[in-house]
Structure 1
Amino acid sequence: MRVTTDLWVSALVRRVFGAGGFAAVVKRGATEAGAVFVLSRGRLGEVALYGPAPQTSYDSAKPDERFFTLLGAGEDGSALDARLEREKKFDPDIWVVEIEAGAVPVEELLSLKAE
C-alpha cells in the first residue's frame, strides 16, 4: 500500500532536518495523492528541481515507491520557479517542498531515475 503524500512529505522534511538541513513545504497539495516537486537549493546558490518520474520508470514489482527525475538545475532559480508556476496551473493539487539538504546528498533523500 502506498503511503499518503502528506505522510511522505512529512517524512522527507524530518529526514532533511535530521541531516542538519532545512526544509519547508511551500505549497500543500492533495493529501492522498498529490504530485510532489522538490526544489533543492545549495549553500553556494545552485538550484535543482526534481519532479515525479515518468510512469515508465516504475517497476511492477515495487509500485508503491516514489521516483523522481531531475527537471532542471543551475544557478537561475527564476527559470525553475517559472516551471513550478506552469505545473501549478496544470495541476493545482501538487506539493512543492523546498530543501537545503545539509549533510545528506539529495540522491539519498529521493529515489532518482534518469529521464
Structure 2
Amino acid sequence: MSPRLKSEFWVTALLRRAQSQGGFATVLRKGDPDAGIVLIVFRSGQKFTLCAPERNFEGHRVWYPYEMEDQSALDTRINRRVDDDPDLWVVEIESDAAPETLIGEPVEQGPQQEDPAEAAAQALFRGR
C-alpha cells in the first residue's frame, strides 16, 4: 500500500486543479489536516452531486457520486456525515470538467446512488 497524502495537501491540489481548468473551488468545511476524509460537492446550476470516497475490493480508493435533489438534501447528508466524523473536509467545485479529471481517481458510475448505510438500514427494517 502506498503512503497517503495528508488531507490538507490533497485538498490544496484539488482546489488548484479545479481553478487551473477554469472552475471555481472552495473549502466549505475544514477537517483534520492530516487524515480527514474529503467529500466533494460538484455544483452545476441547481444540480448537486456529492462524491464520497470508498475502498473497492482491491483496496483502491474510488469515488461514488450521489445525486442530490436540492440544497437541503445536500446539507442534511453532509451534516449526518459530520456528526459521524468531525474530522471531515467538504469541498465545493463549480466546473465543466469531468469529476474524474479533477479528482484524479476513478468515479464509479454504477447503480449506487444512495448512501450504503441508509440502504442497509432500509433493507434491515423493511416491512417492520
Matched residue type, 2:49:
A
* Structure 1 position 106, deviation (Å): 1.4
Larger Rg: 2
Q: Percent identity?
A: 37
The two structures have a TM-score, normalised by structure 2, of 0.75
| 2:26–2:92 CA contact under 8 A, matched in 1 | yes
* Structure 1 position 107, deviation (Å): 2.4
Which residue is 2:115 aligned to? none
| 1:58–1:67 CA contact under 8 A, matched in 2 | no
Match of 2:32, SS?
A: coil
Deviations 1:62-92 (A, max 9, x none): x5xx42111x214412101100001111110
* Structure 1 position 58, deviation (Å): 5.5
- Higher relative contact order, chain-length normalized (CA < 8 Å, sep 6+): 1
| 1:12–1:109 CA contact under 8 A, matched in 2 | yes
Which residue is 1:31 aligned to? 33
Matched residue type, 1:85:
N
1:60-71 equivalence runs, <5 A: 60=59, 66-70=61-65
| CA–CA separation in structure 1 for the residues paired with 2:73 and 2:51 | 13
* Structure 1 position 59, deviation (Å): 2.9
The two structures have a TM-score, normalised by structure 1, of 0.82
Which residue is 2:86 aligned to? 92
- Unaligned 5+ segments in structure 2 are 113-128
Matched residue type, 2:62:
F
Match of 1:80, SS?
A: helix
Match of 1:107, SS?
A: helix
Deviations 1:26-76 (A, max 9, x none): 11111111010001101x3211001111x3x1635xx5xx42111x21441
- 4+ residue runs of structure 1 moved beyond 6 angstroms? none
